Amino acid sequence: MAGLTRAEKHGKRLDWIGRQRKIRDADPLVVGGMDLVDLYAAHVDGARQNKGAKKPVLHYIVRFPPEVLLDDGPTPFARLDRAGRERLMVEQAVRFINESHGGQAVFAARLDRDEAGESIVDVFACPRYMKPSRSERREPALWTSATKFGEELARKHQDHIRARMKDATTTKAITSPRAVGMALQEEFGEFFARENGVNLDARKFKESPAQDRLAIEEWRLRQMEADAAEARQALDEARAACAEAEGEARKAQEARADAEDKARKAQAAQAEAEAREKAAQEHAAEIAQAGRVLVDEMREERIHYAKGREDQIRFKNKEASVAILPGLPELEPLVFAAAAIQKERDEKRAFIARQIENLTMAFKAIRSAIPVVRRMLQSPATPPKERAEAKVARREIVRVGPIARNALNRAREDAQKIGVSLPAEDPGSTLSL
């Protein structure tokens, strides 16, 4: 009974192993109760037992596949919620042990929901059965046996047991504890398929009879090793991700520096373009101003060619640089008059030539400003303020251009009349904006 007492303490989490296995706060799902010793005593009350039985209580660990807790598990489980699936596991585990052990075997069962394994049901049983008396005069008596039904299962699955125990040479039925365990595995597979409509995956058979259940210390050690390996893998992945992020950051920094350099160059190009536009505007303004000044000068400085009469000629003009031949004193007044007239004509010729030269240069300057103004008006990138100034310049060119052209033509006509030689170059007579 010491083993049952330990199992009761473990279920109540009163032992060290039970406390170590607890990973969450969740009450167990139980059948019968947690007081295993009292439940066993009530279960076997009034039943006879073989005095030589060393382990009257059977502790079964029924392991269900983890898929029964998932939404895509076997149909009987899939249509239930989480609590319903857990209850169905306990119900099927109890029914399996009872059906395979005479129908009166289980006195307690427990599903620990605070452990890592969530699909393991602990079933405690002491199979009871009615044993007939050797004497027909006596009624059958209630007995308990921990081996009777296990041996019967072993005889039922002898072919499977012998296929696995290839070194067995006996011709008798093999009913050892290991054989009983093999038979229970086969029986549970048939039970699960019958109840849930799904066959369990083929088991990987043990190569030796050694116990495959790990002690808590070894299990903990393996868990720690697995956690450490997982942590190392996570650290390596984090380092790789960090290195990749640093590479991406460097690329982003280089791209940002390149973008800033391009932005600086674009700003410099824009500033240069604005400077050129500003210079063009100033040049156009200077041309317009020069045209206005020229027109004002032409208006003030008109050329008149009025023919003088003899009585208006002044003969006392001492500025005329004409040599008078000796011996002809009577011609002196006429010589001085002719010299004055010639000097006046020379001054007129020089003035007209200078005006024609100035007018030609002004007209050429006006024509050279036309492309600049036109480009500023047609370019969509021209700022509104500059566009407005270009419109003003265009109006000035339209106003001043014809005046300068007409003045140049009149000056050329006058020059031809008084015999001033003119250059063959003609700046043209058209202005188009």
Distances from the Cα of 367 to the Cαs of 153, 260, 412, in angstroms?
Answer: 119, 42, 19
CB atoms within 10 A of CB 131: 15
Over the chain, what is the mean pLDDT? 80
pLDDT score of 87 more than 90: yes
Please write the tens of the pLDDT for every residue from 99-134: 999 999 999 999 999 988 889 999 999 999 998 887
- pTM comes to 0.51
208 vs 403, more confident: 403
Please write the tens of the pLDDT for every residue from 187-217: 999 999 999 998 887 666 555 555 655 565 6
Distances from the Cα of 35 to the Cαs of 5, 19, 42, 90, in angstroms?
Answer: 9, 18, 11, 18
Give the pLDDT score at 327: 47
Give the pLDDT score at 311: 36
Give the pLDDT score at 296: 58
Please write the tens of the pLDDT for every residue from 240-284: 888 888 888 889 889 888 888 888 898 888 888 888 878 777 766
Distances from the Cα of 357 to the Cαs of 202, 276, 415, in angstroms?
Answer: 115, 29, 12
One-letter amino acid identity for 367? R
Domains in the chain with CATH codes: 2-214 (3.30.930), 230-417 (no CATH)
Please write the tens of the pLDDT for every residue from 320-360: 444 444 444 545 555 566 666 667 777 777 887 887 888 88
CB atoms within 10 A of CB 346: 11
**Alpha-carbon dihedral sign for residues 262, 263, 268, 272:** positive
Confidence of residue 310 (pLDDT cuts 50, 70, 90): very low
Of 141-145, 204-208, 230-234, the range with the lowest mean pLDDT is 204-208
Percent of the chain at pLDDT > 90 equals 29
Confidence of residue 153 (pLDDT cuts 50, 70, 90): very high
Average confidence (pLDDT) over 37-57: 90
Confidence of residue 316 (pLDDT cuts 50, 70, 90): very low
Give the pLDDT score at 263: 87
Average confidence (pLDDT) over 171-191: 91
Give the pLDDT score at 313: 34
Please write the tens of the pLDDT for every residue from 356-387: 888 888 878 887 888 888 888 888 888 888 88
Q: What's the CA gap between 387 and 384, in Å, rounded?
A: 5
Average confidence (pLDDT) over 55-82: 91
Q: What's the CA gap between 115 and 296, in Å, rounded?
A: 109
Residue in 117, 150, 145, 114 with CA at minimum distance from that of residue 131: 145
Give the pLDDT score at 143: 92
Give the pLDDT score at 370: 84
Q: Which residues contact 360 (CB under 8 A, 6 or more apart)?
A: 408, 425, 427
